[in-house]
Amino acid sequence: MNVRVPLEVSASPEASACDPSPVLRERGQREVFCGLTSIVWLHRKIRDAFFLVVGSRTCAHLIQSAAGVMIFAEPRFATAILTERDLAGLADVNEELDRVVARLLERRPEIKLLFLVGSCPSEVIKIDLARAARRQSAIHAPRVRIVAYSGSGIETTFTQGEDSCLAALVPALPEEDPAAGPSLLVAGSLADIVEDQFARLFDAIGVPNVRFFPMRAADDLPAVGPKTRFLLAQPFLSETARALEARGAKRLSAPFPYGAEGTTAWLAAAADAFEAPRSRFDAATLEPRARAETALVRHRATLAGKRIFFFPDSQLEIPLARFLAQEMGMVPTEVGTPYLNRQIMAEDLRRLPPGTRLSEGQDVDRQLERCRAERPDLTVCGLGLANPLESEGLTTKWSIELLFAPTQGYEQAGDLAELFARPLMRRAALEV
Ligand code: SF4
């Protein structure tokens, strides 16, 4: 469901010493999806995992409508629905939950990893899902690993669902073998096809022992420790990055792998950390990089010089603004992000055009006023804002689509640019 959360209002422009971009901080009503949404892509990634949402009928509707229309496999998610009796404290929720889990695991023996996913209602009535996961693990281990995290929409945005999920899984990652050499962990869900492309590129560049997290099979947990270097493939993984660092792993700073330049710099961060020879790096990236650049040229005529406004939603906004400004010649008028993690975003922030207005958090009415006043050529926003803005004659792009489509890496660069070019071309066709 789209969450409208009224909070206190304050707005202050702010710039930091290391990054001079001004930031408008806003706390007001905001329009976002909740973290349950990330189950839509996570359940496709870890193929023997199951996501059991402990929530209300609303949560069940959200998951079914968001995921149900987009997948054609047997669902690996469900909702244990809290009733009025649970909410009024008249039933023992823990006992009922244990029964539901036991029934589920009996019926679905292929499940190896079970996530208990908290929701707004389960948080409001304070069901301790972490404790429930420990209790149920004692019953069902070692056949099934049971982990809890929150997908609630209270004060969160939808990509945080993946962050919370992966962070909850980090303690289960095995310790790296002290006798083994250094390894690279790529953290953040990628489409399988993109993951395979990156694996081939790292191999060609000479980066050893590359693992991806989340993994495709529950039992295939990547090891982590002080010799692990990690690259984030998604920019919304602040909590996961902290958890990996607490295990001794070190984050490699890089822009996110969008477009030809973003992908090259991202791969180069790993090549440098592993001291791969530059000649080998250049040889491995020359052709795919040229293919990406050629694919981008086709869309530059549509995008160059166009003004783009990002509402805060997916947390992809800053890396995408970097790609569109640096590689496609677009002009970001405002780049909104739900949360600004300056460390993780550092390499994208410093590549943004000087003076780009950043906003963190949201006061949706004030932001709509700014957007209407600026009349950008393209507005990137959530589903709840897109239709009203379209009816006012603004051209929009749904930010959630950018999560569902494979967009990272050289081979997807053209498709990524096309996602932004298409609404502009459609608008131009309608106006003829
Ligand atoms: S977790 Fe909260 S915001 Fe998400 S569907 Fe359930 S009630 Fe709605």
What average pLDDT does the segment 412-428 reach? 95
Quick check: is 328 in a domain? no
Res. 383 pLDDT band, cuts 50 70 90: confident
Pair (193, 107) in one structural domain: no
pLDDT at residue 15 above 80? no
Residue 55, φ and ψ in degrees, nearest 5: -155, -155
Q: State pLDDT tens for residues 288-321.
A: 999 999 999 999 999 999 999 999 999 999 999 9
Pair (117, 45) in one structural domain: yes
Quick check: is 28 in a domain? no
pLDDT at residue 17 above 60? no
Quick check: is 189 in a domain? yes
Quick check: is 421 in a domain? no
- The closest of 234, 262, 220, 267 to 350, measured between CA atoms, is 262
Pair (42, 129) in one structural domain: yes
Pair (143, 195) in one structural domain: no
Question: What's the CA-to-centroid distance between 21 and ligand 1, angstroms?
Answer: 34
Q: 191-194: which pairs have CB atoms within 8 A and are 24 or more residues apart?
A: 191/406, 192/216, 193/406, 194/406, 194/408, 194/409, 194/411, 194/412
Of all protein residues, the one whose alpha carbon is nearest to atom 6 of ligand 1 is 59
What average pLDDT does the segment 396-421 reach? 95
Of all protein residues, the one whose alpha carbon is nearest to atom 3 of ligand 1 is 153
Of 255, 284, 313, the residue that ends a domain is 284
Pair (140, 196) in one structural domain: no
pLDDT at residue 154 above 70? yes
Q: Rounded to whole angstroms, how far apart are CA atoms 416 and 296?
A: 9
Output 290 or 83, whichever has higher pLDDT.
290
- The closest of 146, 136, 316, 154 to 237, measured between CA atoms, is 316
3-state SS track over 167-212: HHHHHHCCECCCCCCCEEEEECCCCHHHHHHHHHHHHHHCCCCEEE
Pair (198, 237) in one structural domain: yes
Q: pLDDT value at position 432?
A: 60
What's the domain range around 46? 35-152
Output 411 or 41, whichever has higher pLDDT.
411
Quick check: is 410 in a domain? no
CA-based torsion, 327, 330, 336, 342: positive or negative: positive
Question: What's the CA-to-centroid distance between 60 and ligand 1, angstroms?
Answer: 9
> How many residues are present in the chain?
432
Are 158 and 314 within 8 A, CB to CB? yes
Q: pLDDT value at position 73?
A: 59
How far lies 60's CA from each of 55, 128, 191, 351, in Å? Answer: 7, 20, 25, 41
Question: What's the CA-to-centroid distance between 153 and ligand 1, angstroms?
Answer: 5
Question: What's the CA-to-centroid distance between 127 and ligand 1, angstroms?
Answer: 15
Question: What's the CA-to-centroid distance between 267 and ligand 1, angstroms?
Answer: 37
- The closest of 367, 347, 400 to 41, measured between CA atoms, is 400
Res. 18 pLDDT band, cuts 50 70 90: very low
pLDDT at residue 275 above 90? yes
Of 284, 306, 330, the residue that ends a domain is 284
Pair (118, 196) in one structural domain: no
Of 253, 284, 315, the residue that ends a domain is 284
Other CB atoms within 10 Å distance of the CB of residue 112: 18
Atom of ligand 1 nearest to the CA of 55: 6
Q: What is the CATH number of the domain that holds 188?
A: 3.40.50.1980
Cα atoms in the Cβ-side hemisphere of radius 13 Å centred on 47: 6
Other CB atoms within 10 Å distance of the CB of residue 217: 13
Quick check: is 366 in a domain? no
Q: Please, where are the H alpha helices in 92-182?
A: 93-107, 120-124, 129-140, 160-169
Quick check: is 215 in a domain? yes
Atom of ligand 1 nearest to the CA of 153: 3
Q: Across the chain, what does the average pLDDT equal?
A: 90
Output 223 or 31, whichever has higher pLDDT.
223
Of all protein residues, the one whose alpha carbon is nearest to atom 2 of ligand 1 is 120
- Which protein residues are within 6 Å of ligand 1, measured from CB? 1, 3, 34, 36, 55-56, 58-59, 62, 119-120, 151-153
Pair (137, 197) in one structural domain: no
Q: Rounded to whole angstroms, how far apart are CA atoms 145 and 118?
A: 17
Quote the percentage of the chain above a pLDDT of 70. 92
Total domains present in the chain? 2
Tokens of 199: 């694996």
